[in-house]
Amino acid sequence: MKPMPALVVGLVLAALAAPAGAQGWNGHGGRGGPVGPRGGYPQAREQRGPPQQPYRGPPQGQPYRGAPQAQPFRGPPSGPPPGWEGDSLGAGWSPQQDEVRQGVRQRRFVPLGQAIQSIRRRGPGRELDAGLEQFDGRPAYRVRWAAPDGRRIDYMVDAESGAILNADGGR
């Protein structure tokens, strides 16, 4: 016999001759599957507390009342939620963009890019979104800004001059 096939035959014979409870390389039995207190086939767990009683329905004297009655669908709520009136970053952005474009063409408003440059001069970060609102009776850009440290800052920038009117943030 050649040396390599002899080695294979020897290993097969050794495996067949091993006792059924012998531990294999991974701690499990050779042929009979896992054995021992941790391995093995599922065993009944130790019960804790009083023995489990089978379910017998609702308590006597208390009839089943059924599921709560569903309310009829009344449709989506009308209008914006409370506190969202006049929010430049809400649903009416298309007419708002048109108003800003027209104001920039007529030289009533500074371009939004110029307002963002004012914010950049103040500190690093990036614009999240922007829109036109009224601030103290004047048109102003609200620019939401992400600072490098993760804070979100809401800047109010005068749409006519480009000056920063207010900065609210840190959350």
Among 127, 167, 164, smallest CA distance to 147 is for: 127
The predicted pLDDT at position 147 comes to: 92
State pTM to two decimals.
Answer: 0.46
The predicted pLDDT at position 146 comes to: 93
Q: List domains and CATH numbers for the chain.
A: 93-169 (3.10.450.40)
pLDDT, tens digit, 9 for 90 and up, residues 50-75 = 777 787 766 677 666 666 666 676 76
DSSP letter (8 states) at residue 20: T
The predicted pLDDT at position 64 comes to: 62
The predicted pLDDT at position 51 comes to: 75
pLDDT, tens digit, 9 for 90 and up, residues 14-32 = 766 666 555 555 555 545 4
Count the neighbouring beta carbons within 10 Å of the beta carbon of residue 44: 5
> Do residues 130 and 119 lie in contact, with contact meaning Cβ atoms separated by under 8 Å?
no
**126 phi and psi angles, rounded to 5 deg:** -145, 155
Strand ranges (E), 49-149: 126-135, 138-146
Range with the poorest average pLDDT among 26-30, 49-53, 78-82, 100-104: 26-30
Average pLDDT, rounded, for the chain: 74
Range with the poorest average pLDDT among 62-71, 140-149, 162-171: 62-71
> Do residues 147 and 135 lie in contact, with contact meaning Cβ atoms separated by under 8 Å?
no
The predicted pLDDT at position 152 comes to: 93
> Do residues 100 and 112 lie in contact, with contact meaning Cβ atoms separated by under 8 Å?
yes
Average pLDDT over residues 135-156: 92
Among 160, 118, 161, smallest CA distance to 143 is for: 118
In terms of DSSP H, where are the helices of the chain? 3-17, 93-105, 112-122
The predicted pLDDT at position 80 comes to: 54
Among 83, 86, 81, 91, smallest CA distance to 140 is for: 86
User: How far apart are alpha carbons 163 and 166 in whole angstroms?
Assistant: 9
Among 131, 133, 130, 157, smallest CA distance to 145 is for: 130
